[in-house]
A and B are shown apart, each in its own frame.
Chain A
Amino acid sequence: MLLELQDLVVSYGRIEALHGISLGIEQGEIVALIGANGAGKTTTMRAISGLRAAHRGKIFLEGRDITRMRADRRVVQGISQAPEGRGIFPGMTVMENLDLGCYTRRDAAMIAEDRERVFTLFPRLAERRKQLGGTMSGGEQQMLTIGRALMARPKILLLDEPSMGLAPMLIQQIFAIIKEINGQGTTVLLVEQNAQQALSLAHRAYVLETGSIVRSGTGEELLADPAVQEAYLGVA
């Protein structure tokens, strides 16, 4: 197992947002986490990245307990996240944002290689190297946040709602790129409201409801599940 959560509980003050969730992601998979607004998807991602402490339960990366590890150390260990709302540094250029993605790395040759890879995936970023992040369009910022997360050369890439606020055409494109990134060997944990697309893309998926995992299975299984269809796919 590349990444594993065991009985994870996360709270905001007295409000418990995750009531003990367990999930696992194998090397090379795309795993989707779907759920309604406020279900706890972002909270899960923040806990995995170490931005929110676990109240109870454990997080393992390649079998090592990282539950108490600082957020910045987890990046070095191979967890990289493109956060919800994109988290672009608005006053920095595209290049500076990308350079922050590899802040912890010193291997100049490999960094240059990864930068080329990001520019191949997102040619728009190559054209806009000098533009300030804050002046990029929503779709461009989404490309930038994913590209930046890739610059860490992660073992696992966490994507929190990469399709949020994008036109259908662009959503298709982003999902195709996620598939391509995965094809190049990066494991992906994908949080999405866009359940149809996410389930079609993912090898496996979990359904989160108000802080608990209520279903899991392969993408196809969940797409065919009547309860999932009714709640998340708009099928009456």
Chain B
Amino acid sequence: MNFEFLFANIGDLTVTGLSQGAIYALIALGYTLVYGLLKLINFAHSEVFMMGTFGALFAWQLVGLHENNPIPSVPMMIVYLLVGLVGAAVWSGVTALAVEFVAYRPLRRRNAPRLVFLITAIGASLAISEAVGIATGRQQFGMPDLFKTTTLVTIGDAHITNLDLGVIVAAIVMMVVLDQFINRTRLGRGIRAVAQDSDTAALMGINKNRVIVLTFVLGGVMAGAAALLYNLKIGVTRADIGFLLGIKAFTAAVLGGIGNLRGALLGGLALGLVENYGSALFGTSWRDVVAFAVLVIILMFRPTGLLGESLGKARA
């Protein structure tokens, strides 16, 4: 165990851990929202995220921004960021909706047992990732550079780059907006009502299917935002990136307490940190081992996750 390396780089490890974790957290929201509402692990959500990375890429190509373009001016960079966000959110949102309409809704109408939903989710996930794999020839696609990564501030030995700071801030802003939407607006109240007691929600005049659609869209948009940040941070995408990211984000959701929005944030950041510290301590090849070992240990002591309450019960 390389404690010397860990402590020598603790600042940088923390920064990259948080920015990696922020992306996990944004994806984790989708798992948590759908689980809170339907008690369903939507395994296809990993591909909702993957589609978002391509959505941003397509949107950029559409406006003439390609991999090798020179770095744009600041105003153009903002425009391109927004274009990428819209592209990613739309593709992710549409994918999420397609999964709901094609896969889950017909099953709900037939009152299918829970296991069938689970198998369908896994099937949908594989189907989407394979279809995209075939359509893209399983190639890796590079992203255009929108800005030069520079160190903004140095705190102790921690180099905080504009990229990492941007990713962390953007993810937290998205989450605060979502949290406010769920807890403060009429539609958000409708989502919480269905999550708590869908029969009584119907007695309030709430259309359950409409609430479910809204929830899938919200989860999709958050995954789209995560996809944009991933593109900026990692710089490449492929049809098969969803699997590992999805598993990690799902882990983050469970770690924080699945069904709990703030738990997703906490779980995501915690997972990002643990991974980075763990790989410093044991070597990078142990990264995922450490992450999942920590998950198991935490769940042994807190089976419902760190914050462990349901979407329905969560309060502003």
Q: How far is the CA of A49 from the CA of B201 in the complex (A)?
A: 12
CB distance from A75 to the nearest CB of B (A): 3
Contacts of B192 in A (CB 8 A): 89, 91-92
A71 at interface (Cβ–Cβ under 8 A)? yes
Q: How far is the CA of A75 from the CA of B207 in the complex (A)?
A: 11
Q: Are B193 and A104 neighbours in the complex by a CB distance under 8 Å?
A: no
Residue in A closest to B310 when the chains form the complex, CB atoms:
A91
Contacts of A132 in B (CB 8 A): 315
Q: How far is the CA of A87 from the CA of B197 in the complex (A)?
A: 8
Contacts of B207 in A (CB 8 A): 70, 72
Q: Are A72 and B313 neighbours in the complex by a CB distance under 8 Å?
A: no
A80 at interface (Cβ–Cβ under 8 A)? yes
Contacts of A83 in B (CB 8 A): 199-200, 203
Q: Are A91 and B314 neighbours in the complex by a CB distance under 8 Å?
A: yes
Contacts of B208 in A (CB 8 A): 72
Residue in B closest to A151 when the chains form the complex, CB atoms:
B204
B205 at interface (Cβ–Cβ under 8 A)? yes
A152 at interface (Cβ–Cβ under 8 A)? yes
- Taking CB atoms and an 8 Å cut-off, the chain B residues in 300-316 that contact chain A are 312-315
CB distance from A76 to the nearest CB of B (A): 6
- Taking CB atoms and an 8 Å cut-off, the chain A residues in 80-103 that contact chain B are 80-81, 83, 87, 89-92, 96, 99-101, 103
A50 at interface (Cβ–Cβ under 8 A)? yes
B39 at interface (Cβ–Cβ under 8 A)? no
CB distance from A175 to the nearest CB of B (A): 22
Contacts of A99 in B (CB 8 A): 186, 189
Chain A interface category by residue count = 20 to 34
A170 at interface (Cβ–Cβ under 8 A)? no
Q: Are A103 and B190 neighbours in the complex by a CB distance under 8 Å?
A: yes
A87-B197, A91-B314 known; A75 and B204 CB under 8 Å? yes
A167 at interface (Cβ–Cβ under 8 A)? no
Q: Are B203 and A91 neighbours in the complex by a CB distance under 8 Å?
A: no
Q: Are B312 and A100 neighbours in the complex by a CB distance under 8 Å?
A: no
Q: Are A91 and B313 neighbours in the complex by a CB distance under 8 Å?
A: yes
Q: Which of B186, B190, B196, B203 contacts A90 (CB 8 A)?
A: B196
What total of chain B residues lie within 8 Å of the partner, measured CB to CB? 21
B245 at interface (Cβ–Cβ under 8 A)? no
Contacts of A96 in B (CB 8 A): 189
- Taking CB atoms and an 8 Å cut-off, the chain A residues in 59-86 that contact chain B are 70-73, 75-76, 80-81, 83
Q: Are A51 and B205 neighbours in the complex by a CB distance under 8 Å?
A: no
| Most chain A Cβ neighbours within 10 Å, of B199, B204, B207 | B204
Q: How far is the CA of A81 from the CA of B200 in the complex (A)?
A: 9
Q: How far is the CA of A104 from the CA of B187 in the complex (A)?
A: 11
Residue in A closest to B190 when the chains form the complex, CB atoms:
A103
Q: Are B313 and A100 neighbours in the complex by a CB distance under 8 Å?
A: no
Q: How far is the CA of A75 from the CA of B186 in the complex (A)?
A: 17
Contacts of B196 in A (CB 8 A): 89-92
Q: Which of B189, B205, B313, B314 contacts A76 (CB 8 A)?
A: B205
B206 at interface (Cβ–Cβ under 8 A)? yes
Contacts of B315 in A (CB 8 A): 91, 132
Contacts of A92 in B (CB 8 A): 189, 192-193, 196
| B residues with CB within 8 A of A | 186, 189-190, 192-193, 196-197, 199-208, 312-315
Please list the 8 inter-chain residue pairs (A to B) with the smallest Cβ-Cβ separation, ordered nearest first.
A75-B205, A104-B205, A87-B200, A71-B202, A91-B313, A100-B204, A72-B207, A103-B204
Q: List 25 A-B contacts (CB under 8 A).
A: A51-B199, A51-B203, A70-B202, A72-B202, A72-B204, A75-B203, A80-B203, A81-B203, A83-B203, A87-B200, A89-B196, A91-B192, A91-B315, A92-B189, A92-B193, A92-B196, A100-B189, A100-B201, A100-B204, A101-B204, A103-B190, A103-B193, A104-B205, A152-B204, A152-B205
Given contacts A100-B190, A149-B203, 10 further A-B contacts (CB under 8 A): A71-B203, A72-B205, A72-B208, A83-B203, A87-B199, A89-B197, A89-B200, A91-B314, A100-B193, A152-B204
